[in-house]
Amino acid sequence: MTVATASDSLATRARRTRTAARLLAIQPLEARNGALGAIAEALGARKDTILGANAEDCRVAQEDGISSALYGRLKLTDSKYEGVIAGVRDLAQLPDPLGAMQIHRELDDGLVLKRLTCPLGVLGVIFEARPDAVVQIATLAIKSGNGVILKGGREAVRACTALVAAIHQGLDQVGIDPNAVQLLTTRQETLELLHLDQDVDLIIPRGSNSFVRYVQDNTRIPVLGHADGICHLYVDRSADIPQTVNLVVDAKTQYPSACNALETVLVHRGVAADFLPAMGKALTDKGVEMRGDGMSLDILQGAGALAIAATAEDWSTEYSDLVVSIRIVDHLDQALAHIAEYGSGHTEAIATQDQPTADRFLAEVDAAGVVHNCSTRFSDGFRYGFGAEVGISTSRLAPRGPGGLEGVGTYKYQLVGNGHIAATYSGADAKGFTHRDRPLT
What pLDDT digit, counting tens, does each position of 359-382 carry? 999 999 999 999 999 999 999 988
Q: Tell me the average pLDDT across 385-407.
A: 83
Instruction: Check whether residue 148 and residue 266 sit in a common domain.
Output: no
> Residue 60: what residue type?
V
H or E element at residue 415: strand 409-416
C-alpha Rg value of the chain to the nearest Å: 25
Instruction: Check whether residue 203 and residue 262 sit in a common domain.
Output: no
pLDDT of residue 1: 61
| Residue 422 forms part of a structural domain | no
Instruction: Check whether residue 139 and residue 261 sit in a common domain.
Output: no
Binning pLDDT at 50, 70 and 90, where does residue 5 land? low
Can you give the CATH number for the domain in which 255 is found?
A: 3.40.309.10
pLDDT of residue 4: 65
- Over 70: is that where the pLDDT of 6 sits? no
Q: Tell me the average pLDDT across 71-95.
A: 93
| Residue 338 forms part of a structural domain | yes
Candidates 274, 301, 143, 121; CA nearest to 197 is 121
- Over 80: is that where the pLDDT of 131 sits? yes
Instruction: Check whether residue 279 and residue 145 sit in a common domain.
Output: no
Question: Residue 432 in 3-state DSSP?
Answer: coil
**Percent of the chain clearing pLDDT 70 (strictly above):** 98
| Residue 273 forms part of a structural domain | yes
Q: Tell me the average pLDDT across 197-205.
A: 94
pLDDT of residue 3: 67
Give me the chain's average pLDDT, please.
94
Give the number of other Cβ atoms within 10 Å of residue 254's Cβ: 15
Question: Residue 245 in 3-state DSSP?
Answer: helix
Instruction: Check whether residue 216 and residue 285 sit in a common domain.
Output: no
Instruction: Check whether residue 253 and residue 116 sit in a common domain.
Output: no
423 Cβ neighbours under 8 A, 6+ residues apart: none
Q: Tell me the average pLDDT across 132-156.
A: 95
Instruction: Check whether residue 184 and residue 263 sit in a common domain.
Output: no
Instruction: Check whether residue 38 and residue 78 sit in a common domain.
Output: yes
Instruction: Check whether residue 69 and residue 147 sit in a common domain.
Output: yes
Question: Residue 253 in 3-state DSSP?
Answer: helix
Q: Tell me the average pLDDT across 223-247.
A: 93
**Percent of the chain clearing pLDDT 90 (strictly above):** 83
Global confidence as pTM: 0.84
Q: How many domains does the chain have?
A: 2
Contact by Cβ (8 Å): 149, 13: yes
Instruction: Check whether residue 304 and residue 364 sit in a common domain.
Output: yes
pLDDT of residue 73: 85
| Residue 355 forms part of a structural domain | yes
Q: Tell me the average pLDDT across 236-251.
A: 98
- Over 90: is that where the pLDDT of 296 sits? yes
Burial pattern 259-296, b for ≥16 Cβ within 10 A else e, equals bbbbbbbbbbeebbeebbbebbbbbbeeebbbbbbebb
Contact by Cβ (8 Å): 345, 357: no
- Over 70: is that where the pLDDT of 19 sits? yes
| Residue 415 forms part of a structural domain | no
Question: Residue 102 in 3-state DSSP?
Answer: strand
Instruction: Check whether residue 214 and residue 244 sit in a common domain.
Output: no
Instruction: Check whether residue 141 and residue 38 sit in a common domain.
Output: yes
| Residue 218 forms part of a structural domain | yes
| Residue 436 forms part of a structural domain | no
Contact by Cβ (8 Å): 248, 375: no
| Residue 421 forms part of a structural domain | no
Domain hosting residue 24, numbered range: 10-224+403-410
Q: Tell me the average pLDDT across 293-319.
A: 95
Binning pLDDT at 50, 70 and 90, where does residue 394 land? confident
pLDDT of residue 134: 95
Contact by Cβ (8 Å): 97, 390: no
Can you give the CATH number for the domain in which 123 is found?
A: 3.40.605.10
